[in-house]
Chains A and B, each alone.
Chain A
Amino acid sequence: MKKQKAVVAAALWLATGIAGAAETAAPVCLIAGWENPPSVCAAHTKSIAATCFICHGPNGKSSAAIPGLAGQDKAYLIAAMKEYREGKRESTVMKKYALGYDDSEYESLAEFFAAIK
C-alpha cells in the first residue's frame, strides 16, 4: 500500500503540475485498496452502513429477532466481524457478509454504529 500511495502522490503532483496549480495533494483514504479523497470514503461508509439497516433495522436499531448494531462497542463489532470471517463465531449469513468486506470497512462500519445512541 505504501508503494501505491507513493505512485498516487506522484500522479497528483504531475496532475497539479500540468494544471499549473499550486495545490497540495489532498489526504487520501483507501477503499478496497484504492485511493480516494476523504469525502468519497465518507460516502462509502454511509452507503455500506445503510446496507446493514435492511436486516438489522434502520440506523442499526432492531425491533425484532435480528440483533441491533446501534451503540455497540466498536472493538466488539470489529472482533465479531473477524470471527465471522474466520468461522470462529457461529452465524447464518454473517460469514457470507464478512467475507465480502475488508478490515478497513469493518472498522468504519463499527465506528459508524458505535456512534449511534
Chain B
Amino acid sequence: MTLHRRDFLKYAGAGLAASLLAKPAFSATGGQPHVVVVGAGFGGATCAKYLRIWDPNIQVTLIEPNDKFYSCPMSNWVLGGLRTMDDLIKSYDHLPGYGIKMVRDSAIGVDTDQRVVATQNGGKIAYDRLVLAPGVEFMTDLIEGYDAAEAAGKVTHGYKAGPQIVLLRKQLEAMPDGGVFVIASPPPPGRCVSGPYERASLVAHYFKQHKPKSKIIMLDGHFAVVSKGPMFKAAWKKFYPGMIDHRPYNLVTKVDHASMVVTSEFEDVKADVINIIPKQRAGAICGQAGVRADTAGVWCPVNGVTYESPKVPFVHVLGDSVASNMPKSAHVSNNQAKICAAALVELFNGREPDPYPVIGSTSYSATSDHTSGPIAVVMRYNPDKEAYIRQPGGGASLESDEVNFEYNKAWFEHIWADTLG
C-alpha cells in the first residue's frame, strides 16, 4: 500500500480557506453557521436532521413546498391495492423539534456569489452552505404529446408520489377486464431503476384478483429487466404467467391521448391505461444554481467527500440529482445526506471531513402481496480514484420470498423514521 497523503484542500472546496481560518462555527455573517436545505425528501430532510443532531450550533433552514411528505417507496403498493394513499403520507411535524426552521415555499433561484436563495413567495434567504436535494425533473418534451396527454389527465408518470399515484390507481380501477396497461420506462440513468418492474408486478397482482384477462405491456428503454432481473422474471412466471409482456430496447417517443396509442421507436401500442416515466434530470433549482455540470448538462457532479459541487462553491447536491454511479434511491439519498451533514460539521469546526465515506445501498422490491426481494451494494469512496467503488459480493437476490417481504415492510418504517421521525 502506498503512503497516502490526503489533501484536505481538495475535499473542502472553496469553502475551506474561510473554514480553516475560522474558529468553531464559522459563518460568513459572523454568527452561527447557516445551512439552507432545499427539498425535504429522503436526502434533504435527513441532512437537515443530522446537521442539527450532530452539531446544534449549526442553524438549519429547510425549504419545502409540500406540507406533508409523500413517499415514493411503497407507492407501487398503493397501485397494486396492498396499501392506501394514506399509508404514503407522512408528517413533517417532528423536524422542527430538532431545531430545523421549516419554510413552506419553493426555492426558485440562487445567487451563488452573494449566497442567497430566492423563494416563490419573495423570500431571500442567506446561506453559508446550500444543500440542494430537489429530486428529479421530467424531460417531458422528449416525448411528443406527453404534456398535452398529462394535462388531459390521460397519462401519468407516477414517479413522484401524490396526485399522480391517486390518478393512476383510479384509472386502473376503472379499466375493464381484458384491458391493456402500458408502462414505459426510460433508459438509464434515472430514479429507482427497479421501480417499473415492481410496478408491473404489483399491478399484475391486482389484475390477477380483479381483472384476470388484462395485460401489462412494458415498453422498456433498458436493454433488459436490468434490476433484479432473475428475481422479477421468476416471480412473473410463477404468479402472473402470460400477463406481463416485457419489451426491451423500446424507447417511447410519442403518445396520442385521443387514440390512446403509445409510439416507440419500433411500434404503436394501443392502451387502456398509460403510464409513461420520462427521462429525468436534476431538479430545476440545480439548473438555476448552475450545478447541472455533467457533460450533458443533466445531472450534478459532486465531490464524493462533501457532496459540494466542483463547479459552484458552497453549493452541495444530494440524492437523485447527483451525477454518479450510485443508484438513485431513497436509501442512497439518505446515506449521502448523512455523509454531507457529517462533512459540513467537520468543516464548520475546522476539522478534516472523513475522506473515506462509505455508502450502503439496499432496495427492496415486492413481487406480490407476500413476497419481496432485496439488492444490496456497499460502495466505498476511494480518494485516489475520486470515485465510489462497488465492493465485491454485493448484488440482487435471485428470488423473492416471505421473509424479505417482512424486511421490506420494516425497511419502510425505519427509513421513514430515520428521515422524518
Contact = CB atoms under 8 A, between A and B. Distances in A.
A39 B356 contact: no
A65 interface: yes
Contact of A47 (B339, B378, B397): B339
Interface string B299-336: 00000000000000000000000000000000100110
Contact of A96 (B1, B378, B413): B378
A106 B357 CA distance: 15
A4 B380 CA distance: 21
Contacts of A93: 362, 374, 376
Considering residues A33, A43, A65, which has the most beta carbons from chain B within 10 angstroms of its beta carbon?
A43
B4 A35 contact: yes
Considering residues B331, B351, B352, B376, which has the most beta carbons from chain A within 10 angstroms of its beta carbon?
B376
B358 A54 contact: no
Q: What is the size category of the interface that chain B forms with chain A?
A: 35 or more
A51 B111 CA distance: 33
Contacts, number: 133
Nearest to B345: A43
Contacts of A34: 1, 4, 6, 355-356
Interface residues of A, number: 40
A46 B54 contact: yes
B267 interface: no
B393 A95 contact: yes
A48 B410 contact: no
Interface of A: 4, 7-8, 11, 31-37, 39-40, 43-44, 46-48, 50-58, 62-66, 92-93, 95-97, 99-101
Contacts of B3: 4, 7-8, 11
A116 B132 CA distance: 32
A83 B353 CA distance: 31
A107 to B, nearest CB: 15
A100 B352 contact: no
A101 B378 CA distance: 8
A88 B328 CA distance: 32
B177 interface: no
B356 A32 contact: yes
B223 interface: no
A65 B356 CA distance: 31
B360 A51 contact: yes
B54 to A, nearest CB: 7
A91 to B, nearest CB: 10
Given A51-B338, A65-B406, 5 more contacts: A31-B356, A44-B357, A47-B339, A92-B407, A97-B360
A57 B414 contact: yes
B342 to A, nearest CB: 5
Contacts of A51: 335, 338, 358-360
Given A33-B1, A39-B352, A54-B418, A100 B342 contact: no
Given A65-B406, A99-B393, A54 B352 contact: no
A48 B380 CA distance: 11
Nearest to A63: B413
Contact of B380 (A11, A36, A54, A100): A100
B414 A100 contact: no
Nearest to B415: A54
A38 to B, nearest CB: 10
